Amino acid sequence: MFLRRRPPTPVAALLAALIAPAAAGGAGAGSPLPDPGPVPPPEAAHWERPAAAAWLPASHEPPPRGDDRGYDVLHYDLELRLDPGGSLDGSVAMTLAFPAGRPPDTLVVDLDEPLVVDGIDWDGQPAALTRAAEELRIASPAGDAGGAVVRIGYHGEPQRHGSYSAGMLFRVQGDSPQVPIGPTILTMSEPWSAHAWWPCKDHPADKATVRLALTVPDTLTAVANGLLVSDAPADPGWRRTVWETDYPTATYLVAVAVAGYVSWQETCDLAGGPLPLTFHVFPRHEAAARYDLAPTCDMLRFLEDLAGPYPFAAERYGQVEFKWGGAMEHQTCTSLGSVLLRGDGRFRNVVLHEMAHHWFGDLVTPATWQDVWLNEGFATYCEALWQEHEEGPAGLRRRLESFGPGQHPTLFEGEGILTDPEPVLPNLLVYHKGAWVLHMLRGAMGERAFFDFLRDWAGAPSRTYGHATTADLVRVVGEHAAFDAAAFLDPWLNTDAVPALSWSSSPVPTSQGGTRVTVAVRQLQRETFQLALPLRLLTDRAALDTTVWLREQQGRWVFDLPGAWKGLEVDPDGWVLMARRPLPDPPVRLLTVHPAPAGPEGATLGFRVAVGGPVAVELVDAAGRRRGRWPLGELAARDEPYPWRWRGEDGEGRPVPSGIYWLAVTGGGGRSVAKVTLVR
């Protein structure tokens, strides 16, 4: 993708037009504020999950597309007039390139159905349009062309969309509609809800530069990606603000935030020179935000040491409050939910998480949404590395415990496949197991090789400002590791198994007053893992720390040690995700789905219940939307599997089309999933 860089010289003057001077001695700026009460734990980058009703099927099939459609978007030029009452009028000019040298016969652009198209032109000439569900199908003109500009005018009221029932939302700043403290507009587009508010090619692998011209009531401030280009009065009572980024940006990372913000700017000296830091928060949260976001520059420096120079140094790093129950790594303009700004620093891990995404996700973007663990696993492990930086090895271990056994007592067994998660989002598997995979790579590779790998992954020209796949990661690990990276990673990435180990030690005193000890370790699970297994061998004269490779179902090693034998510790510092004791049976476990693929009559499930109580089956489509839920009532715990028939229908009894779905059995606080291909 062509990258145009603009000198950053105008940024200070332009930001000054938008950013109010910081109040001297702001309340609470130097000390925590009183605890305003309990909040939900920040276990994912964004956790606002819609009510069940919002997940019911729509009248069409959402198309998370995987094809390149015969064109590449180079630039989006968006002009939006946003009415806080819930509507927009807009246009987008898409600058396109055609790798084959000519446009496809039909140009397919994504746009949600509730938005009305006012007109389309192709290089200034009217173009014919047909609509099919969430697609605009635009007839290409005759003749060859290396590129084109397609302009689409549209208007309407954006509706909730996608996995998070989001898109563009019109809200108030207050804690509920009964506490209206000013209007606010936000966007939340991950994974494929950008087209819920603007026409685009809504696919993570097609990144483009973006210009956003936002006209809003002049009592409000409009914030978006990149640099502030202009900010001036428009019609009476309105103001037009233009933001522009010259860095390639995925559609889900394009953001708009509008509110009556209080704003300020700081400067952070980084490897690439002074970087503007911008902050926009609701006035009542200013003191809390100033305290919670105080480590921003320190965190950026930490991440530069970890992964290389800040990738968007010619523009800025911004943080903006939005009315959402989580956070989102919008490129150069991270959005932080109001719930995170508490004034006590408790959610600084989320601040770090979203910042880390600017290397792991924004700079190097997943090629498909099945690769999303490359975003979330890296950013989550960066949280643990920051805690290690702040608190030492004990902090790292506590964080990893919280990501693993603390929340996943079965160590992810039964929760799905990391490289094919259900749904892709929201799904804690990609965060927590993804972080553990990286932690185990670090233990196996060693410190120098692992951190060289991190910098290579985020800094190699073949990936920067582009995209990557899990296969790319396996290859790059292999370039830095002294072991077979594919064999090491495969069971972690492509199964839900977990190592269960037994071990023994057989010491024999030697004539020289030492000990010869034989250590035997056996893998008890069906899959064979290749494990770099730390051992601590203890005598009354020494403690030997060593690492052995367990590449088969069982291994045996002999050590000669000084002194009398005291004991063996296996993985004493927590580098391997493994069962140290018998794992509890999952509350429910989906065992079989037959036939595969499922035919028009559906499929029969077999599942085991270990914890008696209410059990239900859910159907989720490839867009992460729940298409149906069937309560099965109270089921008793038993070893014999229960059968249940899915008839190839949604929750309303309507046949669903051919495609990929996930069936999930829930009960006893557990969830077990299986992927199903339906062929009609």
For the stretch 592-642, pLDDT in tens is 898 989 999 999 999 999 999 999 999 988 777 789 999 999 999 998 999
How many CA atoms does the CB half-sphere of 622 hold within 13 Å?
17
| 178 confidence band (pLDDT: 50, 70, 90) | low
Strand partners, 366: 468
- pLDDT, tens only, 137-151: 999 997 767 899 999
Residues 163 and 289 occupy one common structural domain: yes
322 vs 180: which has the higher pLDDT: 322
What's the confidence (pLDDT) of residue 179? Answer: 61
Q: Are 616 and 587 in contact (CB under 8 A)?
A: no
Six-digit token string for 474: 């396996």
Backbone dihedral angles phi then psi of residue 237, each to the nearest 5 degrees: 85, 0
The domain total for the chain is 4
Residues 443 and 525 occupy one common structural domain: no
Residues 479 and 510 occupy one common structural domain: no
Is 407 within a domain?
yes
List all residues 6 or more positions away from 435 whose beta carbon is below 8 Å from its beta carbon.
Answer: 377, 380, 381, 383, 384, 400, 403
What's the confidence (pLDDT) of residue 162? Answer: 87
- For the chain, what percent of residues have pLDDT higher than 70? 89
**Range with top average pLDDT, 40-44, 425-429, 497-501:** 497-501
Residues 336 and 352: their CA atoms lie apart, in Å, by 11
Count other Cβ atoms within 10 Å, centred on residue 175.
11
Classify residue 514 as left (phi > 0), alpha (psi -120 to 50) or beta. Answer: beta
Q: Which residue has the tokens 């996995």?
A: 163
CA proximity to 193, closest of 82, 95, 46, 91:
46
What's the confidence (pLDDT) of residue 437? Answer: 98
What's the confidence (pLDDT) of residue 677? Answer: 92
How many CA atoms does the CB half-sphere of 185 hold within 13 Å?
26
Residues 330 and 418 occupy one common structural domain: no
Final residue of a domain: which of 471, 494, 517? Answer: 494
CA proximity to 244, closest of 257, 258, 230, 233:
230
Final residue of a domain: which of 308, 333, 356? Answer: 356
Q: What is the mean pLDDT of the chain?
A: 89
Q: Over range 422-439, report the average pLDDT.
A: 93
What's the confidence (pLDDT) of residue 643? Answer: 95
Domain that holds residue 323: 11-22+54-66+157-356
- For the chain, what percent of residues have pLDDT higher than 90? 76
| 582 confidence band (pLDDT: 50, 70, 90) | low
Is 207 within a domain?
yes
Is 665 within a domain?
yes
Is 84 within a domain?
no
Q: Which residue has the tokens 């089921």?
A: 635
What's the confidence (pLDDT) of residue 559? Answer: 96
- pTM of the predicted protein model: 0.84
Q: Are 110 and 73 in contact (CB under 8 A)?
A: no
Count other Cβ atoms within 10 Å, centred on residue 200.
24
Q: List, edge to edge, every strand of the sheet that includes 659-667.
A: 626-635, 613-621, 659-667, 670-678, 588-599, 602-609, 638-646
Residues 186 and 269 occupy one common structural domain: yes
What's the confidence (pLDDT) of residue 621? Answer: 86
Residues 273 and 194 occupy one common structural domain: yes
Residue 125: pLDDT over 50: yes
| 177 confidence band (pLDDT: 50, 70, 90) | low
What's the confidence (pLDDT) of residue 145? Answer: 77
Residues 500 and 497: their CA atoms lie apart, in Å, by 9
Residues 149 and 96: their CA atoms lie apart, in Å, by 6
Is 90 within a domain?
no
What's the confidence (pLDDT) of residue 507? Answer: 93
- pLDDT, tens only, 663-673: 999 998 888 98
Residue 549: pLDDT over 50: yes
- Say which range, 221-225, 373-377, 534-538, 576-580, has the weakest mean pLDDT: 576-580
| 186 confidence band (pLDDT: 50, 70, 90) | very high
Q: Residue 563: helix, strand or coil by DSSP?
A: coil
Is 235 within a domain?
yes
DSSP letter string, 472-541: HHHHHHHHH-SS-HHHHHHHHHH-----BEEEEEEEEE-TTS-EEEEEEEEE-SSSPP-EEEEEEEEESS
Six-digit token string for 448: 């120098």
The helix or strand, by DSSP H or E, that contains position 393, with its residue range, turns out to be helix 393-403
- pLDDT, tens only, 255-312: 999 999 999 999 999 998 999 999 999 999 999 999 999 999 999 999 999 999 999 9
Residues 629 and 600 occupy one common structural domain: yes
Is 313 within a domain?
yes
| 583 confidence band (pLDDT: 50, 70, 90) | low
- pLDDT, tens only, 67-90: 789 999 999 999 999 999 999 999
Residues 480 and 523 occupy one common structural domain: no
- Report the CATH number at residue 387: 1.10.390.10
Residues 286 and 197 occupy one common structural domain: yes
DSSP letter string, 432-475: HHHHHHHHHHHHHH-HHHHHHHHHHHHH-TTTTTEEE-HHHHHH
- Report the CATH number at residue 295: 3.30.2010.30
Check residue 378 and report its DSSP letter. H
Between the alpha carbon of residue 387 and those of residues 45, 399, 422, the distances in Å are 17, 7, 29
40 vs 290: which has the higher pLDDT: 290
Classify residue 511 as left (phi > 0), alpha (psi -120 to 50) or beta. Answer: alpha
Q: Residue 415: helix, strand or coil by DSSP?
A: coil
Is 578 within a domain?
no
What's the confidence (pLDDT) of residue 7? Answer: 39
Residue 56: pLDDT over 60: no
Residues 505 and 480 occupy one common structural domain: no
DSSP letter string, 15-53: HHHH-PPPPTT-TTTTSPPP---------SSB--PPPGG
- Report the CATH number at residue 666: 2.60.40.3080
Final residue of a domain: which of 535, 570, 605? Answer: 570
Q: Over range 8-12, report the average pLDDT.
A: 42
Count other Cβ atoms within 10 Å, centred on residue 246.
19
Residue 42: pLDDT over 90: no
Residues 166 and 275 occupy one common structural domain: yes
Residues 385 and 307 occupy one common structural domain: no
Helix axes 470-480, 373-391, angle to 10 degrees: 50
What's the confidence (pLDDT) of residue 176? Answer: 59
